[in-house]
Structure 1
Amino acid sequence: MRLTRRGAGTLAGAVVLLALGVGAGYPLLVVVGAMALGAVAAALAVAGRKPRVEVIRELYPDRVERDGRAVLTLRVHNPGTRRQGGFTAVDRVGEDRVSVAVRSLAPGAEQPYLNEVPTGRRGRHDVGPLTLFRADALGLGRSELSLGGTATLWVYPRTHPVGAVAGGLPLHHHDGEATETSPRGSLDLREVRPYVPGDEVRHLHWKATARTGQVMIRDYADPHQPRFTVLLDDRREVTAPEFEEAVELAASLVVAAVKADHRCRLVTPGGVDVGTPSGADAVQRYLEELCVVTRTRGAGLPLVPGVLARAGGGTLVVLSSAVTVSADDRAALVGLRPRYGGVVLVVGLSGAAPEVPGVRVLRAANAVDAIRQWQAVIA
């Protein structure tokens, strides 16, 4: 229990009024001072008791797109034999606060409360801990009690329906030494190697097994498996509104490509490099990465990171700002052009559209406008 600023000021004023009233002989000041002192005493009596309740908190869903609906449920139970007075339950959701006014509870009673969680900011937000506040009607005193731990709310960037473009690797890319990054899964034989747990039994190579004395298995590769790479400009020179639209566009394109069974890769100048095969787990992995990606603080970073200079195949989509694409950046994009089946640069409307030989440049006001133009490109 503690006095608020208003309560401390009221207490100090009451003491001053009582002292002046008694010292100068003004009964009115004494009465006013006594009333103020009585209000502080009443606040201590009302707010001094901390809530004695049990609270169960549930967050559903814990993963939602930006501006989607997430609900925080509180089930408040009074396990005691005395009636519990009302109080306020406050949960922290990132930088926001969610407040619930809990009414008084009879002995043994339970009451559920529903409240929508703010989801307007993309990111990984901690929810909690839950704090119970009790205050008097005048706001002179308050007591608080923290309960429970924290939950995690993932606010993903919005995704929009968009078509995926196919773009594979050159034929027989798997010839020569086998590497761990070579795509697997088709009927083109990649190599014959020893069996490891988890391999398909139907791919056993019986002749090699008989010849070597150990279980051997065929490993296959798909030279035409589509590939899709997104280069998201996260340099600090990109404005915050343009960056949020670029993240939204990147999420839409990557999710569409993964669902189309493409091998995808997400790269940023700031060091993000995520490459996964297709599948439901890949969608969540990319959305989690795009949920927490932020603009870098470093200055002078090139648009094209070194990892892309050694990569290639499929389609490369670059999401940046027209004013941040320098002459060196354009030269680097030209250098990447022979390594990919197609390169598309998407920039905002700020500044003049850069001209990059061999690269398709799209200027879009926002993510929705960029997707509309993207549909025309792949049609």
Structure 2
Amino acid sequence: MTGPLRTALTSLTLRGRCLVAAGLTLLGLGALLGERPLAQLAVFVLALPLLSALAVARQRVRVAARRTVSPTRVPRGEDAEVRLELTNAERRTGRLWLLTEQLPPELGPSPRFVVERLAGGDTTALRYRVHGSRRGRFRLGPLRLRLVDPFGLVQRTTSGTDDAPLLVVPRVRQLGPGGPAGGQGGGGEGARRSIAVHGEDDVSTRAYRHGDDLRKVHWRATARTGELMVRMEERPWRAQAALLLDTRVRAHLLSRATAPGAAAGTAVPGPPGDPSPPPDSFEWLVEAAASIGTHLARRGAVVHVVTEAGELGPSDGHGGRGRGGLGPGELLDRMAALVPSRGARLTPAAHLLARVAGDGPVVALLGAVSPEDLPELVAARSGPASDVAVLLDVGSWAEAGRGRRALSGAARASLTAQLEESAALLRGAGWQVVVASAGRTVEAVWAELGHTHGAGTRAASGLGVPA
């Protein structure tokens, strides 16, 4: 009992410490003045915290907590509801319990509850809501329990070990029928490429490409054309597309609202009607990638996501499409944990893109890129597909008051000139280019891509989704 009692005495509240100080003062005055009533009063005042500490020390508490989070994956800017079931595992009825659910600051203030006289074996349900103000993987809990005596003189604090996961994923904007495909894409599941095979002379062929199986060489067509040709056999058609994300920290103006530990509910200006706009260019890029990638995956495409740090590959059991592609669920899971990288160049991403994109199109979401960053990217793409680039006007986020620092007039002019040069270079190489600023939504940029592409222009190759 000595150990718990000593612990309880060291857990005196401010009220308890004041009472002990008053008791010692009365005891000193009684001894100094020879007043016995003062000494008796001092003994009573000092005994009260001691008895309270003894009562708190004798309390045995065993509490089981169980959390149900709905939903377990919440889009940024939305809420999740948590049901906390608390069970008194002791036979005795509990006394006054003060409970605090420990939460990361990005999810809002930690909720507090008061539970009084919960019978042994009984369960009570507590509810609270969390706000996903920032992407990431978070843990809810553990629960902190404080035992307090009836007079509020002593409190004992203990923490559990149980917690529950919560994943805050990027918002997925509902994109319209526009986009580079111009609304031509339907579903790609089960679609087939029709190859007429009526006879040896009527077989469809194409020019030989590096890596083709030599057993498929069509020698009669080769002799007729003078160029090595291979047979095109009927096979299930699977569309594919690649997203290139410029996640370099030097290419964005990061906002304090997205920094780890930022306070929840930070006000961010944005387009009209958007209650939770992206606070900076990096968050806009992540949201655009999640929206476009999900849109393409639902249309049947195998989506590859490439950054300068490597490819975001699927993990087992999360809906990956195979061959390194990402399904809608896996895409959001990987994007939830995406953070800016320290890479300096886009060269690694361009080289990786040349390997994974194949004949499918590329959607490049680029931050503040200079013309020197683009030659490798342009050289890596010479396929038949129509590639698009979304260039972020990073300076517009600083003008909207969302960046960490304000831009000078010279710096803003330099960013604008760099943006125009990069756009001209990409357009000259055959890319479709759209500029995205802080006041534009992902839906508007997607619709402009479809308008830029033009109705019916290269519809068969638009984003690799069959018409």
The answer to whether TM tops 0.5 is: yes
Partner of 1:208: none
Superposed CA offset, 1:156-187 (max 9, x none):
11111014644999x959967569xxxxxxxx
Which SS does the other structure have where 1:117 is aligned?
strand
Residue-pair matches, total: 337
Task: Tell me how far 1:302 sits from its aligned partner.
Answer: 2.9
Task: Tell me how far 1:266 sits from its aligned partner.
Answer: 0.7
Which residue identity lines up with residue 133 of structure 1 in the other structure? R
Q: Which has the higher contact order (CA 8 A, sep 6+)?
A: 2
Partner of 1:261: 300
Superposed CA offset, 1:287-323 (max 9, x none):
1100111112x3524365221243443322222323x
Structure 2 Cα separation of the partners of residues 303 and 13 of structure 1: 70
Structure 1 Cα separation of the partners of residues 283 and 248 of structure 2: 13
Give yes or no for contact 1:363–1:370 (8 Å, CA) kept in 2: no
Partner of 1:182: none
Structure 1 Cα separation of the partners of residues 212 and 12 of structure 2: 71
Partner of 2:71: 61
Q: Is residue 247 of structure 2 the alignment partner of residue 239 of structure 1?
A: no
TM-score by length of 2: 0.60
Give yes or no for contact 1:78–1:107 (8 Å, CA) kept in 2: yes
Give yes or no for contact 1:78–1:109 (8 Å, CA) kept in 2: yes
Give yes or no for contact 1:347–1:361 (8 Å, CA) kept in 2: no
Structure 1 Cα separation of the partners of residues 152 and 372 of structure 2: 62
* Residue of 3, 21, 25 corresponding to 1:17: 25
Partner of 2:443: 371
Partner of 2:241: 228
Which SS does the other structure have where 1:230 is aligned?
strand
Give yes or no for contact 2:79–2:130 (8 Å, CA) kept in 1: yes
Task: Tell me how far 1:57 sits from its aligned partner.
Answer: 2.6
Partner of 1:307: 352
Structure 1 Cα separation of the partners of residues 45 and 450 of structure 2: 75
Give yes or no for contact 1:51–1:87 (8 Å, CA) kept in 2: no
Which structure 2 residue ranges, 5 or more long, are not aligned? 1-6, 194-204, 218-232, 255-279, 315-319, 396-414, 452-467
CA distance 1:260–1:9, change in 2 (3 Å): same
Which residue identity lines up with residue 249 of structure 1 in the other structure? A
Partner of 2:376: 332
Structure 1 Cα separation of the partners of residues 207 and 330 of structure 2: 27
Task: Tell me how far 1:248 sits from its aligned partner.
Answer: 1.1
Task: Tell me how far 1:377 sits from its aligned partner.
Answer: 1.5
CA distance 1:321–1:83, change in 2 (3 Å): same
Task: Tell me how far 1:108 sits from its aligned partner.
Answer: 4.7
Matches within 5 A, 1:314-325: 314-322=360-368, 325=369
Report the RMSD for the aligned CA atoms in angstroms: 3.9
Which SS does the other structure have where 1:254 is aligned?
helix
Partner of 1:357: 426
Which SS does the other structure have where 1:44 is aligned?
helix
Which residue identity lines up with residue 56 of structure 1 in the other structure? R
Matches within 5 A, 1:11-160: 13-14=21-22, 17=25, 20-22=28-30, 24-25=32-33, 37-38=46-47, 40-41=49-50, 43-45=52-54, 47-48=56-57, 49-78=59-88, 80-95=90-105, 97-136=110-149, 140-147=153-160, 149-160=162-173
Partner of 2:335: 290
From the two aligned structures, give the one with the greater helix fraction: 2
CA distance 1:348–1:373, change in 2 (3 Å): same
CA distance 1:268–1:367, change in 2 (3 Å): farther
From the two aligned structures, give the one with the greater strand fraction: 1
Task: Tell me how far 1:103 sits from its aligned partner.
Answer: 3.4
Structure 2 Cα separation of the partners of residues 56 and 370 of structure 1: 39
Structure 2 Cα separation of the partners of residues 143 and 271 of structure 1: 50
CA distance 1:66–1:36, change in 2 (3 Å): farther
CA distance 1:129–1:268, change in 2 (3 Å): same
Task: Report the identity percentage.
Answer: 23
Which residue identity lines up with residue 317 of structure 1 in the other structure? V
Give yes or no for contact 1:50–1:143 (8 Å, CA) kept in 2: no
Q: Is residue 384 of structure 2 the alignment partner of residue 345 of structure 1?
A: no
Structure 2 Cα separation of the partners of residues 285 and 174 of structure 1: 35
TM-score by length of 1: 0.73
Deviates more, 1:56-65 or 1:254-263: 56-65
CA distance 1:47–1:267, change in 2 (3 Å): farther
CA distance 1:142–1:263, change in 2 (3 Å): same
CA distance 1:15–1:329, change in 2 (3 Å): farther
Which structure 1 residue ranges, 5 or more long, are not aligned? 180-189, 192-218
Deviates more, 1:268-277 or 1:58-67: 268-277
CA distance 1:78–1:332, change in 2 (3 Å): same
